[in-house]
Amino acid sequence: MAPESWAITTDAFEQAAHWFVRTAARGDGRWDSPALDLWTVRDLVGHTSRALLTVEACLGREAAIVDVDTPEDYFRRALAAIGDPGAVAQRGRDAGVALGPDPGDSVAEIATRVLATVRVASGDDLVTTPVGGMRLRDYLPTRIFELTVHTCDLAMALDEPLDVPAAAAVASVHLLGALAFRAGQAGPLLLAATGRTPLPTGFTVL
């Protein structure tokens, strides 16, 4: 990856992380309020914090080979291995509890720590992700996407504006387009995004 491309990716990651931290801080006093599906605000913040913590974890585990070449393939493998949705929901709750009495402060500390680690990493670093070995440059866009989408969820739950930072928005929409193409859904997405037709009921690219 060219240095300028890696700089764009890390900038998007930083923007997404900082937006999450700012939005999570708005949850003070509303941690038990409903958020997404069966999750409370605390649960959703806990789940979203895992998009940072998994980067920290994978940077500490060098991989021997590349098992997954693209961010799209990461999601394909991750969704295939997702298992019981109830277990996913419980992991979010457990992550929320792990943030302690002040989740806002906790995610700010996590973000500071993880961003400092990413700043000294290389996009060519070979890391062990939950679905196999990946180049960091290919894994990080999946974390940008998770941070950005779930911070949108959090903002909606807290009645905050959906002011997605520019670089995070571009990176997330880029991956969204690639996922739509992979799922055979690029046409409906393009038509809906340009105001031609509404999206079908239950539409998703995942």
Q: Which residues of the chain have pLDDT under 50?
A: none
Looking up residue 165, the CATH number of its domain turns out to be 1.20.120
Q: What is the pLDDT of residue 66?
A: 97
Q: What is the pLDDT of residue 3?
A: 66
Beta bridge mates, 135: 126
Q: What is the pLDDT of residue 11?
A: 98
Encoding tokens for residue 142?
Answer: 């999946």
Q: What is the pLDDT of residue 195?
A: 96
CA 24 to chain centroid:
14
Q: How far, in Å, CA of 141 to CA of 12, rounded? A: 8
Does any domain span residue 202? Answer: no
Enclosing domain of residue 142: 3-193
* Count of domains forming the chain: 1
Encoding tokens for residue 34?
Answer: 């409903």
Does any domain span residue 204? Answer: no
Q: 18-36 pLDDT, tens per residue?
A: 999 999 999 999 999 999 9
Q: What is the pLDDT of residue 84?
A: 74
Given a contact cutoff of 8 angstroms between Cβ atoms, the answer to whether 118 and 140 are in contact is: yes
Closest by CA to 55, choosing from 140, 131, 116, is: 140
Q: What is the pLDDT of residue 87?
A: 81
Beta bridge mates, 133: 128
